[in-house]
Structure 1
Amino acid sequence: MTTEVTTTQADAQRCPGADPVRRRWTPPGPLHLGQTLRVLGRGAEDPTVRVLSEDCAWLTTRCAGLPVGARFTRPPRTSGENPLHRDVVAEAWGPGASVWIERAPAWVGARDSWEEFESSPGFAQLPHVLVRARHEHPGLRLPATGAVLDRAVVAILEQRVTALEAVRAYRALLRWIAEPAPGPAPQGMRVPPTAEQWRRVPSWQWHRAGVDPARSATVMRTVQRASALERLSHREDPASVRAALQSISGIGPWTAAEITQCTHGDPDGVSVYDYHLADHVCWFFDGAPGSDERMLELLEPWRGHRQRVVRLLKASGHRKPSFGPRLSPQDHRRH
């Protein structure tokens, strides 16, 4: 693995007064940059994650409480080179950049390895469609951002509402309370707020964003535990992190799994009680809708790697039938 940390003159000229730090490394094995990072974002206008192409993505975060704006890119492909084996270049701007740059590889799955799963008896039991999906997507990895507080707020805002509602609320809140991203980031990108910034959001502003009192109260309880969440970011066992998160009132199995899938590269966390996932899994295996209990029963042969199976199922292109009830957006500002 090669590593370099430098400042590039061209980027310094594009962002006067804010010299970036730069790290370049060779991933151990294939890596698909866009596919790996896309799970962190919520739409093309996400204020904290922008995947501009398969080889270029921007993100914002905090490191030791300090703001960071970062860009991941890959060098142009040379003749005969496997595009998934190219180096990855991370560039970071802002007060927290020099510390965060050491953690950059984990954001694109450097700690994630599929070797144990692929060599297990369980992998041989996978349906052919999922085995083929893995062969077709060998660069798919599970990111580990370590940003537990930031991901917790996103997951809480997604509780019991449509993705459209949650995205709209998150964008509005960050537009009102968050600082612009350091460096030459795409327009509209913001740094995730600190715990103190979240604590200062008044009730009328939650209401204006369309966030009901139950979710805003859960966010408030969660940010009060910011120090504990920071300690959780250093734990290596995602299952213990999920259990600890559920000690916070309002965070259940679904929210905890949604967090650790992104913060710890959780290979086993399954989003039970999701509005769509159980039917998605059950339609694939049973050819019929099903419950969370049935989904977990179907995934049991791959315990320890159930999230990998879910990711492969989605990568395979499988879609459940499009009939059935839809979850309608609710305007909580009128309640």
Structure 2
Amino acid sequence: MIIRTLAVPAGYRLDVSLGGLPFGRHDPCARWVAGTFWWAARTPAGPGTLALRQDAGAVAATAYGPGAPWLRERADAVAGLRDDVTGFADVAAGHPLVRGLARRYAALRLPATGLVFPRLLRAVLEQKVTGKEAYLAYAATVRHFGAPAPGPQPLLLPPDPAAVAAEPYWTFHRFGVEQRRATTLLRAAALADRLQSAGPADAARRLRAVPGIGPWTVAEVRHTVYGDADAVSVGDYHLKNIVAYALAGEPRATDDRMLELLAPFAGHRGRVCALLLRAGHGAPRWGPRQPVRSFARF
């Protein structure tokens, strides 16, 4: 067990900053327990678990397992404490809603996990399905491949990409994943080591070359793995409408229109999107909900 104390800026809040890291309240790999954030990870140094808790103006980081030294060094980035908000107040001032959100959520910092494959796994499973379908597929995949994480919490480690890459695509049918996403996941898993060792720009270039991975998946990885405050998830089913309705009162928009509206916030476009989502902004919904489908018998 390795312990580190992290200094935090005035007004910082761990719960606000890390709210999006777990995939729902029952993520097998990450969760909040009595005010402490627990995160299981396969690090380059081995499996480990990181516990983060904010008390008295600081964050206590406790790491367990063979990956503990790596997690200790990365703890401040995971907590969002490497996030540079310089200049955001100036660009936010140009729009009254964003200016208000910047003040309301001044405690928010963007985490940077530094681990590519866990976020890539989740992003591929989220492609073009409902949130419920994506979570069920993610949880089933983790439980199939996952092993117990070090430490006192009953968490599972994310799947080993080598084990994922070794499976035939139809293995994932019983997890609710059709051939298209399953094949994309297998391709990504086969490249996981090279992606992990690459820098942000090189990793994005390599990802874009993988069939089945487009700008949405790349942006999701850049945003969470590297803390890229400018990454915008182009191709998201809802985001373009959320941005257009919040910033311009337009209930429907294209990705090009979304990027046009976000242009004044260059350098922090992804941060603006994160604030809108954190505040619960949405666009009017028309038509029926998408059905939850099952591929378990395919």
- Fold conserved (TM > 0.5)? yes
Segment of structure 1 superposing worse, 278-287 or 40-49: 278-287
> Structure 2: 5+ residue runs without aligned partners?
none
Q: Percent identity?
A: 38
Structure 1 residue 239: deviation in Å? Answer: 5.3
Structure 1 residue matching 2:291: 3-state secondary structure:
coil
- Residue 326 (structure 1) aligns with: 289
Distance 1:156 1:29 in 2: 36
Equivalent residues of 2:37, 2:51 under 8 A apart: yes
Q: How does 1:237-256 map to 2 (within 5 A)?
A: 238=200, 241-256=203-218
- Residue 4 (structure 1) aligns with: none
Q: Which has the larger radius of gyration?
A: 1
Structure 1 residue 168: deviation in Å? Answer: 0.7
- The alignment status of 1:27 with 2:8, answered yes or no, reads yes
Q: Structure 1: which amino acid aligns with 2:72?
A: I
Q: Structure 1: which amino acid aligns with 2:41?
A: T
Q: Structure 1: which amino acid aligns with 2:47?
A: P
State which of 32, 39, 46 in structure 2 corresponds to 1:51: 32
Q: Deviations over 1:46-95 (max 9, x none)?
A: 01110235x421111122151111211122x4xxxxxxxx1101111111
- The alignment status of 1:201 with 2:167, answered yes or no, reads yes
Equivalent residues of 2:188, 2:210 under 8 A apart: yes
Equivalent residues of 2:51, 2:61 under 8 A apart: yes
State which of 135, 138, 150 in structure 2 corresponds to 1:182: 150
Equivalent residues of 1:239, 1:269 under 8 A apart: no
Structure 1 residue 227: deviation in Å? Answer: 2.2
- Residue 243 (structure 2) aligns with: 281
Q: Structure 2: which amino acid aligns with 1:57?
A: F
Q: How does 1:86-97 map to 2 (within 5 A)?
A: 86-97=57-68
Distance 1:65 1:213 in 2: 33
Structure 1 residue 324: deviation in Å? Answer: 3.1
Distance 1:152 1:184 in 2: 27
Equivalent residues of 2:97, 2:247 under 8 A apart: no
What number of residue pairs does the alignment pair up?
297
Q: Deviations over 1:221-246 (max 9, x none)?
A: 111112211122xx2xx555433321
Structure 1 residue 200: deviation in Å? Answer: 3.1
Q: How does 1:126-275 map to 2 (within 5 A)?
A: 126=95, 128-185=96-153, 187=154, 189-232=155-198, 235=199, 238=200, 241-275=203-237
- The alignment status of 1:125 with 2:87, answered yes or no, reads no
Structure 2 residue matching 1:332: 3-state secondary structure:
coil
Equivalent residues of 2:45, 2:70 under 8 A apart: no
Distance 1:72 1:101 in 2: 11
Give the 3 Å change call, closer, same or farther, for CA 316–174 of structure 1 in structure 2: closer
- Residue 82 (structure 2) aligns with: 111
- Residue 5 (structure 1) aligns with: none
RMSD of Structure 2 on Structure 1 (CA) = 1.8
State which of 32, 41, 47 in structure 1 corresponds to 2:22: 41
Q: Deviations over 1:140-177 (max 9, x none)?
A: 01111111111111100111111111111111121122
Structure 1 residue 30: deviation in Å? Answer: 3.4
Structure 1 residue matching 2:18: 3-state secondary structure:
helix
Q: Structure 1: which amino acid aligns with 2:86?
A: E
Distance 2:240 2:176 in 1: 27
Structure 1 residue matching 2:20: 3-state secondary structure:
helix
Give the 3 Å change call, closer, same or farther, for CA 191–275 of structure 1 in structure 2: same
- Residue 72 (structure 2) aligns with: 101
Distance 2:168 2:206 in 1: 28
Normalized against structure 1, the TM-score is what?
Answer: 0.84
Give the 3 Å change call, closer, same or farther, for CA 212–203 of structure 1 in structure 2: same
